[in-house]
Structure 1
Amino acid sequence: MIYDTGQLALKDAGLGIEDIDGIVVAANDQFDGRSISVMMASGPTGGVDRDIMSTPSASEHAFILGALRVATGQFRTQLVVSWSPTEVSSMAEAQRLGADPYFHRALPLDELSAHALQASAIEQALPDARVAAENVTKKNRDQGRLAWPDAPARPAAGPMRWPVTPAMTSAPVMGAVAMVLAAPDFIAERGLRDVAWIDGMGWATEPSFLGDRDLATAPALAAAAGQAYAAAGITDPVTAFDLAEITDATPYAELLAYEALSLCPRDQWAARSADGSFARGGKLPVNLSGGVLTWNPVFCTGMIRIAEVANQIRGRAGRHQVPNARRGLAQAGSGFAMQYQSAIVLSKAARTKGAQVEGAQVEGTRP
């Protein structure tokens, strides 16, 4: 799966592995069931006798690291690959091992439990948040059926965590994602035109100890968005984008992202989620791909949001393509209650001499 996905991305970019200077991979050792899973990935990604690095924190961090490596001038191209298997006997138990080791690891705390704690904090802070969350759930489910008509509904099975319902999240599936990053001079040299430029990106992390956080807010995402917007020269996010992809591990996570990304204040969540502002045909379509509620390869979901926006900019998003998409926003939230936050701005036209995305291929399992 890792080999096939990487090869599809290279083919989509019109390149071969000999054109790649370095590789960045992202995988979760607990999900993989092995220590230092990058060693297993060196062969299928093409990393033998080639510079290769790993980011075990989140898939989107691999994308950011790859872009930074190109920006240093030491590399002209990077292949970025992330994967997420489901063979572990208990996904919840594997996730628990990534929790704070002194307090939280002793609890039956997985990522869904942390998302549920965040959802309850949001409902406590905003009485009509549940109505807005239900609207977001319907929007993403409907858009997912349009984008992937053959994808079965995969509501999470087993015990739920209040107030999250089975429809508000989806069962994990096996999946992988790969993207090719390249420097402007490489693009010019090869005469490649079908690219998406990185206008700006930002990332920030919140404390791992949930008791040190206000779970009804997302300050790390606000900081990451500020970095990305400043780099991209964006002063009015509401009108700046043709589409956005947000990591909707639950609809509450998407709502919180609206606020932190300066797309919609929380007192308008219910109204905007009901009037179609963030649906297909609205002012800013969000998660036309169906988001995580449609496909949930857990460790890959953040980078898939970036790949989805890149393919929109490149005109390769298939059934859910936005006509003449010029600029898009990708938000990646990973870890316990969106602990890791990233924001990426991609555009059709080059604004600065940064790295750029020239080939993107998302490959998920089909039941």
Structure 2
Amino acid sequence: MPYKVQPGVIGCAIRPAIGGRDRSLEEVIYDTAQQALADAGITIEDIDGIVVGCNDQFDGRAISVMMASAAVGGVGRDIMSTPSGSEHAFILGALRVASGQFRTQLVVAWSPTEASSIPEAERLGADPYFHRRLPLDELSAHALQAAALEHTVPGLHDVAATVVAKNRSHGDVAYPDPAERPAPGPARWPLVAGSTTSPVTGCVALVLATADFITERNMQDVAWIRGMGWATETSFLGDRDLGSAPALRAAAEQAYAEAGITDPLTQLDVVEITDATPYAELLAYEALGLCGRQDWAARAGDGTFARDGRLPVNLSGGVQTFNPVFCTGLIRFAEVANQVRGHAGKHQHPNARNGLAHGGSGFAMQYQAAIVFGREQGAQA
């Protein structure tokens, strides 16, 4: 690892769908942070610093981190915030541990549905002179990307439907109670009803620590960060080729190089992809080196990425099962960390030792991140 200290994930709390109005957002955040600390077997007194991923537009208030400081335990403790994406909060927390300046970090992100219109909240992040006047929200950007892909890959609509079916079947295992499932998302051509999922309130937290802290506490179930990569594309859609994902390709190359991954199909055991749409998942297959677009139909049809396939993708059900919009990326990280730790519950993959997590957010996956987790400290795949 090219870091001074190799970070490891020692605790996770994933709450991808929180129903009811009996708890305030502050209480939800507090509960989730406490669950992650309990999973790690420590208390807030053991935490040196905190990073939160929160977005003022989604929260419907200014400077959301101020509201959350007490709930996450930030009073009198070093705390930072990133509003761009929940996956960026994890990267920042991991880098703080890797620098050797912190022994532990608590990373928390949330995504409420209290804003009267999530599309309107999303539009505030768009270019004010061109895109905001369209009006452009994230679903519209995903639809434009889907249209670009359908133009270049014949028959992709049916392949996308197969991807949705795979992830929904995985979600049936991970979250078997049908009452928990949200409604299908709206259609935006060529995205049809059922190819997206309506937003829900969700929250997620992870605890990271240094190797010496982990050794001192004799912790066994650790997901070591073996490689990280992240990159960003320009925000102006007219300057991008929506039928490709160069930022994700760059992020994956960085993460793979650090982790010693040369053949992800044989060296990885599980993968989680931020599948805001099935087209986003297919594009990620290519950028992550899992499958070229010429083989999308074949791999979707032969079950390569299904539960019992060669490389299971989105055993949690992914965003197709629950869509807490702002924290879907960090949930993917937590899901793979739990798989490696053996803490994934109903959807645990047997002997998952190495996993890849993809975080994609923004308009047509503007922000991209890839993390390789491993059960062995510093081991190459």
Q: TM-score, normalised by structure 1?
A: 0.94
* 1:335–1:226 CA distance, 2 compared to 1 (3 A): same
Q: Could you tell me which residue of structure 2 aligns to residue 56 of structure 1?
A: 83
* 1:264–1:312 CA distance, 2 compared to 1 (3 A): same
Three-state SS of the structure 1 residue aligned to 2:88 is: helix
* Matching residue within 297, 315, 329 for 2:324: 297
**After superposition, where does 1:32-43 map in structure 2 within 5 Å?**
32-43=59-70
CA distance in 1, matches of 2:286, 2:185: 30
Q: Could you tell me which residue of structure 2 aligns to residue 232 of structure 1?
A: 259
Three-state SS of the structure 2 residue aligned to 1:168 is: coil
CA deviations over 1:166-206 (Å, ceiling 9, x no partner): 21110000010000000111111111111110000100000
Give the C-alpha shift of residue 151 in structure 1. Answer: 4.0
CA deviations over 1:121-155 (Å, ceiling 9, x no partner): 00001112212111101100111011100144434
CA distance in 2, matches of 1:148, 1:7: 22
CA deviations over 1:309-353 (Å, ceiling 9, x no partner): 011011111111001110000001101000000000001001179
* Contact 1:155–1:168 under 8 Å retained in 2: no
Three-state SS of the structure 2 residue aligned to 1:63 is: helix
Q: Could you tell me which residue of structure 1 aligns to residue 372 of structure 2?
A: 345
* Contact 2:81–2:89 under 8 Å retained in 1: yes
Q: Could you tell me which residue of structure 1 aligns to residue 349 of structure 2?
A: 322
Q: Which runs of 5+ in 1 are unaligned?
A: 354-367
Q: Could you tell me which residue of structure 2 aligns to residue 156 of structure 1?
A: 184
Give the C-alpha shift of residue 101 in structure 1. Answer: 2.2
Three-state SS of the structure 2 residue aligned to 1:202 is: strand
Verify: 1:113 aligned to 2:147, yes or no. Answer: no
CA distance in 2, matches of 1:149, 1:229: 34
Verify: 1:178 aligned to 2:205, yes or no. Answer: yes
Q: Could you tell me which residue of structure 2 aligns to residue 336 of structure 1?
A: 363
Q: Could you tell me which residue of structure 2 aligns to residue 134 of structure 1?
A: 161
Q: Could you tell me which residue of structure 1 aligns to residue 293 of structure 2?
A: 266
Three-state SS of the structure 1 residue aligned to 2:190 is: coil
* Contact 1:200–1:345 under 8 Å retained in 2: yes
Runs of 4+ that moved beyond 2 A: 151-158
CA distance in 2, matches of 1:188, 1:101: 51
Give the C-alpha shift of residue 156 in structure 1. Answer: 3.2
Letter in 2 for 1:169: T
* Contact 1:62–1:80 under 8 Å retained in 2: yes
Q: Could you tell me which residue of structure 2 aligns to residue 221 of structure 1?
A: 248
Verify: 1:87 aligned to 2:109, yes or no. Answer: no
Q: Could you tell me which residue of structure 1 aligns to residue 37 of structure 2?
A: 10
Verify: 1:254 aligned to 2:281, yes or no. Answer: yes
CA distance in 1, matches of 2:45, 2:109: 20
CA distance in 2, matches of 1:301, 1:150: 20
Give the C-alpha shift of residue 157 in structure 1. Answer: 4.5
Q: Could you tell me which residue of structure 2 aligns to residue 362 of structure 1?
A: none
Q: Could you tell me which residue of structure 2 aligns to residue 283 of structure 1?
A: 310
Letter in 1 for 2:214: I
Give the C-alpha shift of residue 79 in structure 1. Answer: 0.2
CA deviations over 1:27-53 (Å, ceiling 9, x no partner): 111011111100001000000000000
* Contact 1:245–1:291 under 8 Å retained in 2: yes
* 1:22–1:233 CA distance, 2 compared to 1 (3 A): same
CA deviations over 1:246-284 (Å, ceiling 9, x no partner): 000000000000000000000000010010000011000
Q: Which runs of 5+ in 2 are unaligned?
A: 1-27
RMSD: 1.1
Q: TM-score, normalised by structure 2?
A: 0.91
CA distance in 2, matches of 1:156, 1:149: 17
* Contact 2:329–2:358 under 8 Å retained in 1: yes
* Matching residue within 244, 265, 270 for 1:243: 270
CA distance in 2, matches of 1:280, 1:99: 37
CA distance in 2, matches of 1:156, 1:333: 20
* Contact 1:155–1:166 under 8 Å retained in 2: no
Q: Which moved more, 1:142-151 or 1:89-98?
A: 142-151
Three-state SS of the structure 1 residue aligned to 2:71 is: helix
Q: Could you tell me which residue of structure 2 aligns to residue 356 of structure 1?
A: none
Give the C-alpha shift of residue 102 in structure 1. Answer: 2.5
